[in-house]
A and B are shown apart, each in its own frame.
Chain A
Amino acid sequence: MRLPQLISNSIIAFAVWLVLWSLAGRASESAPNGTTNSQASAATLVVCPRCAIKRLSDALREASAGAKIILQSGIYNEGEMTIEKPVAIEGQDWPVLDGAGKNQVLTVKADNVRLKGLVIRNSGKSYIADLAGIRVEGARNCVIEGNRLTDNFFGIYLASSANCAIRGNEIRGNAVSEVFSGNGIHLWNSNRITVERNHVTGHRDGLYFEFLHDSNILGNVSENNVRYGLHTMYSANNHYSQNILRANHAGVVLMYSRKLKVVANRFEDNWGPACYGALLKDLDESELERNLFFHNSVALYADDANRNRVANNRFYNNGFALRIMANANGNVFSGNLFEANSFDVTTNWSSGSTSSFDGNYWDDYRGYDLNRDGIGDVPFWPVRLFGLLLEEYPQAIVLLRSPFAELLDAAEQAIPVLTPHNFADQKPLIARPPWSKSQTSKSALAQ
């Protein structure tokens, strides 16, 4: 084939592809997700300050079920708007829906609603009502994707909803106090919700879930919130993975829940008096695996949390790595790395806890391994006497880093009599497990 021929052929091929692509695009536009069963005409309404339809509320009134509303750039200050039919609202060049600090902004009461590319700001604040930027009530199959929510009381609020996706939203609050502030993403009494790649900051709890079941919380970043990064109450069977919970009062707080999976998250810089990386209260039969706890005052706190599995996590540079109360029973800690923590494990005095340790790596371990199988020949007692004293007499903290405290610990390490006997790792690892090698460098932590 000669060169001119080749060029002309490829131009024709490109033109054909272009036509097909634009046809396909139109086809997909006319049938938005989840509206297949509605008999609606595939109308698209365009709203902008200079269009025929100038107000979003007019478009919502006119639109038939399954319609698509394209909201072009502009500021829409229209009071509270309620969506009562399945429509998709798509913003172009970030149109602004402003609550003017008085009311809720968008309320969704219909199934199959899709919100994308909107800026929603200044919802009202109230001590009585939970005003939100976007509130979804009793709806199914909603998709809230790629929006920017700024300075709202609550950001996205789902009540009694199911099968929704909240994806890639940027949620920025201006919370100052815990008492008068709302949560970034608030899910109440909902099932099968996907919360993915959102960024939440400046709210009370970044992510707050109550009575949430069978949901997937993936790849979110929740930081600098005035209370918790992620808060879960009365929930079960949720999966939390690859989230980053940074510089909150507590990273993740899991309460009165069961069967949660918490995998490969990062809890970091939750630092200050009474700050926690993960706080478990009445959490049962859950799994915490491959998480990184870095620079938290207390990395993991377990109070009345039972039969959980804590495996292959890395606890690095925390004040207290584990605080396990006597009422936390049957938890198994295995394959974790404990490095450069001020205290590895503390517990109440004469703890009767039946939690156990098995095959962890402790940087304070001074044992030996004669048969070279990688497992230390003498057990490791991770509870230091001074740590034990602290749980009983918190004021003894004035002796932190004093030679006297070090002497107490040395004596107890030599002849353990006071530290709880079941809190011993019978098979401490001699070297770091291979999986941790990739992330030992400081630069890996700084990511």
Chain B
Amino acid sequence: MRQIATLARYSALELARSWWTACYCLFFMVLAFAFFAFGEEPAQAVVSVLNVVLLVVPFVSIVMGVLSFYTAREFAELLLAQPVGRLTVFFGQYMGTAASLALAFAIGLGIPFVWYGWNAREQSGTLVALLFGGILLTFIFVALAFALAVRTENRLKALGAAIFLWLFFALVYDGLILAVIVAFSSFPLEKVLLGLIILNPLDLARILILLRLDVAALMGYTGALFRQFFGSPLGIVAASACLTVWMALAVAVGASTYVRRDF
């Protein structure tokens, strides 16, 4: 355990020293300050920030995850020559990468949130939900990145696959949902949609945050049903289970491949 922590700290520091992480942090800070300063309503600023978070966090997480895995490759090989378990090295790297990205995100968004959230206290719950959702997404998508990167020696191939995976979650999946809605429009679809939304961490995060906001009124009957579900204990368990399962699954796939892999 201590070894994991040491390794995590090392790779976190490695990433923290990188220029890109600082940019990532700064990006969210500038973005949130801009939206809050120029938007008229805090709720609208939250929606705008949400849109960007849902696009950028998974993308940066999955790409930085793949890149940092390959960057630390030689160091990992050196480590593996020492009496250190493979799982330890894998988890150390994963935790370090994910934690530093999550931290950059949290600092970048957290400072404007505290600054402006003070004036818009009715939104503070939503701001916390948005921060928390972004951090969870970071951990999920770095896990996915590692699961991809472990499987191939080819850095470009892994990067391509990562971008495809991001596109799938961010765009293609919603297209499929729309196809389902159009194809089965004469059936009551609310429960099916609920299931489909829960299965995609990006959709789940988006809906959970929208339900907290004013715009939820536009969602009519479907929105009312969703709100009822996610307000119930079952809904909370289902939502958090789903996010955890995604992360656990990706980490498990990555770890099992890493253990069996020929370096």
Instruction: Tell me the A residues contacting B by CB distance below 8 Å.
Output: 271-275, 297, 317, 319-320, 340, 342, 389, 392-407, 442
Contact = CB atoms under 8 A, between A and B. Distances in A.
B222 interface: yes
Instruction: Give 8 closest A-B pairs by Cβ, nearest first.
Output: A404-B174, A319-B218, A273-B220, A397-B219, A402-B174, A393-B181, A395-B181, A272-B217
Given A395-B185, A398-B222, A271 B214 contact: yes
Nearest to A396: B181
A403 B217 contact: no
Interface in B170-223: 170-171, 174-175, 177-178, 181-182, 185, 189-190, 193, 197, 203, 206-207, 210, 214-215, 217-223
Contact of B40 (A319, A340, A406): A340
Given A273-B220, A319-B215, A395 B193 contact: yes
Nearest to B51: A401
Name B's interface SS: helix
Contacts of A274: 220
A272 B223 CA distance: 11
Contacts of B185: 392-393, 395
Contact of B210 (A297, A392, A401, A406): A401
Interface in B90-126: none
Contacts of A273: 217, 219-221, 223-224
Contact of B222 (A320, A392, A395, A402): A395
Given A273-B217, A395-B193, A397-B218, A442 B171 contact: no
Contacts of B175: 404
Interface string B223-241: 1101000000000000000
Contacts of B51: 401, 403, 406
21 contacts: A273-B220, A273-B224, A297-B218, A317-B40, A317-B41, A319-B217, A394-B222, A395-B181, A395-B222, A397-B219, A398-B177, A398-B203, A398-B207, A399-B177, A400-B215, A400-B219, A401-B47, A401-B51, A402-B206, A403-B174, A404-B174
Given A319-B217, A342-B218, A398 B171 contact: no
A81 B218 CA distance: 48
Q: Which of A272, A342, A393, A404 has the most CB of B within 10 A?
A: A404
Given A395-B185, A398-B177, A403 B219 contact: no
B44 interface: yes
A402 B171 CA distance: 8
Given A400-B219, A402-B174, 13 more contacts: A273-B219, A297-B217, A297-B218, A317-B40, A394-B220, A395-B185, A397-B219, A397-B222, A398-B226, A399-B174, A401-B215, A403-B54, A404-B171
B242 interface: no
Interface of B: 40-41, 44, 47, 50-51, 54-55, 170-171, 174-175, 177-178, 181-182, 185, 189-190, 193, 197, 203, 206-207, 210, 214-215, 217-224, 226
A385 to B, nearest CB: 11
B178 A399 contact: yes
Contacts of A398: 177, 181, 193, 197, 203, 207, 219, 222, 226
Contact of A393 (B182, B197, B223): B182
Contacts of B181: 393, 395-396, 398
Q: Which of B193, B210, B215, B218 has the most CB of A within 10 A?
A: B218
A407 B215 CA distance: 20
Nearest to A271: B217
A377 B222 CA distance: 40
B193 A403 contact: no
A399 B50 CA distance: 14
Contacts of A404: 170-171, 174-175, 178
Given A317-B41, A340-B44, A393-B182, A400 B210 contact: yes
A237 B220 CA distance: 35
Contacts of A392: 185
B119 to A, nearest CB: 13
Contact of A402 (B203, B214, B221, B223): B203
A342 to B, nearest CB: 6
Nearest to B182: A393
Given A340-B44, A403-B51, A397 B220 contact: yes
B178 A389 contact: yes
A69 to B, nearest CB: 50
Contact of B190 (A395, A400, A406): A395
Contacts of A340: 40-41, 44
Contacts of A297: 217-218
A321 B222 CA distance: 21
B181 to A, nearest CB: 5
A397 B186 CA distance: 16
A442 B220 CA distance: 28
B35 to A, nearest CB: 13
A275 B217 contact: yes
A320 to B, nearest CB: 8
Contacts of A395: 181, 185, 189-190, 193, 222
A400 B182 CA distance: 16
Contacts of A407: 171
A443 B47 CA distance: 22
A271 B182 CA distance: 28
A268 to B, nearest CB: 14
A277 to B, nearest CB: 13
Nearest to A442: B40
Contacts of A389: 178
A297 B220 CA distance: 10
B177 A403 contact: no
A121 B44 CA distance: 44
A264 to B, nearest CB: 23
A249 to B, nearest CB: 12
A401 B203 CA distance: 10
Nearest to B175: A404
A271 to B, nearest CB: 6
B141 to A, nearest CB: 15
Contacts of A442: 40
Nearest to A295: B214
B246 to A, nearest CB: 18
Nearest to B44: A340
B64 to A, nearest CB: 20
A400 B220 contact: no
A396 B183 CA distance: 12
